[in-house]
Amino acid sequence: MRSTVRNILLSLLVGGLFLWLAIRNVPFDLLFGYMQGISYGWIIPYSVVALLSHFLRAERWRLLIRHENKPPARASLFAGVMFGYLVNYAVPRLGEISRCVYVAKKEDLSGTNLVGTVILERVIDMLIMLILIAFVGLVLISDPEVLSMLLGEETRARLQSLLHLRYLMAGLVALPALLLLGYVFVLLIRKNETASPMVNKVLNQLRSGGALFMDGLFAIRHLRQWPYFTGLTILIWAGYVIMAYIPFVAFNLHEDYGLGLEAALVIMTISSVGVALPSPGGIGTYHWFVRQGLLVLYGVPAANALAYAFVTHAVMMGVVVVTTPVILVWNKGLKRKNTNRSANL
């Protein structure tokens, strides 16, 4: 309980700090005036793309979940993903656990195993994000001074050190070694014979939950539909790029500042860094990173850039808050209907 309260307070502190950094020195009359002057018809296609991206994420998650009889229902996985996003707006990272608990209850699966698959999914997305950051930082934004203005000198220095060739090579060597050690650990705790009764007792305790968790974490070794999995991953991230581009048109940034899909990729990548930080639903961190990206890289005035950040974040939050209860009720009714049908057979 204390750790949860501490995490909430920390996330509020981080979000509040970045929100203050984002709004300072920005005239509120210009900010709200600009927000009121745009057309909001783009919200419909934006919401469709957002929901489709979330559904594709649920579908990709389904490929990682092992099952004995039948695969988990897509409706339950989709509802679980949306429920997780909703919880994340209150307590960062708790949504990942919440969606596993929800799906485990609905589909009679191991929650511990599902947590392992979610961690695997996050590792995959983190690797993709690092690749995108490297591409944006080294190819699209090659000026160190611009990177310093955008991310801060300390963050830029750390990022460049992480992208140094020797560190990348060390990572390529260490990752397979860690995976091998984890796999050996799974095999070890599955064995019934040990030399020491004490060791056997410890391993039996680990076996109850540890093996399920590690099975989920290493679910990638059972994946057979690699082309489908890769295609879903590409479509998910492409959806995020489109979600960054659609508001460009609404704010007329595509004409006034020439912002196209390349700029949308850059802003999406920069904003993903903000969303990854421990703030409630990216509040504050998303706004500051988006503002800095539009201001520093493309010369968009701070008020306009911040208006873009506020509106897009509010619409994304609105999509989750409005549609998630509907999806949860729909899935509950669907499960009840399927249960009654099975009982009548």
- Please report, in tens digits, the pLDDT of each residue of the chain (345 residues total): 566 677 778 888 888 888 888 888 888 888 788 777 777 889 999 999 999 999 999 999 999 887 666 788 999 999 999 999 999 888 877 888 999 999 999 888 877 778 888 888 888 888 898 888 877 776 656 566 665 666 555 555 555 555 554 555 555 566 566 656 665 655 555 555 554 555 555 555 545 445 555 555 555 667 778 899 999 999 999 999 999 999 998 888 989 999 999 999 999 999 998 888 878 888 899 999 999 899 988 999 999 999 999 999 999 999 999 999 999 999 988 877 766 655 555
Residue 99 CA to residue 62 CA, distance in Å, equals: 13
Q: Which of 73, 52, 95 is nearest to 330 (CA)?
A: 73
What pLDDT was estimated at residue 94?
84
Is the Cβ–Cβ distance between 91 and 11 less than 8 Å? yes
Is the Cβ–Cβ distance between 302 and 290 less than 8 Å? no
What pLDDT was estimated at residue 165?
47
Residue 51 CA to residue 21 CA, distance in Å, equals: 30
What pLDDT was estimated at residue 232?
95
What pLDDT was estimated at residue 209?
47
Q: What is the largest CA-CA distance in the chain?
A: 74
**Cα–Cα distances in angstroms (integers) from residue 233 to residues 147, 217, 229, 239, 305, in the given order:** 27, 18, 6, 10, 29
Residue 273 CA to residue 228 CA, distance in Å, equals: 27
What pLDDT was estimated at residue 14?
85
How many Cα atoms are found within 13 Å in the side-chain-facing hemisphere of 286? 21
pTM of the model: 0.78
- The tens digit of pLDDT for each residue in 119-131 reads 888 888 888 988 8
- The tens digit of pLDDT for each residue in 239-296 reads 999 999 999 988 889 899 999 999 999 999 999 988 888 788 888 999 999 998 999 8
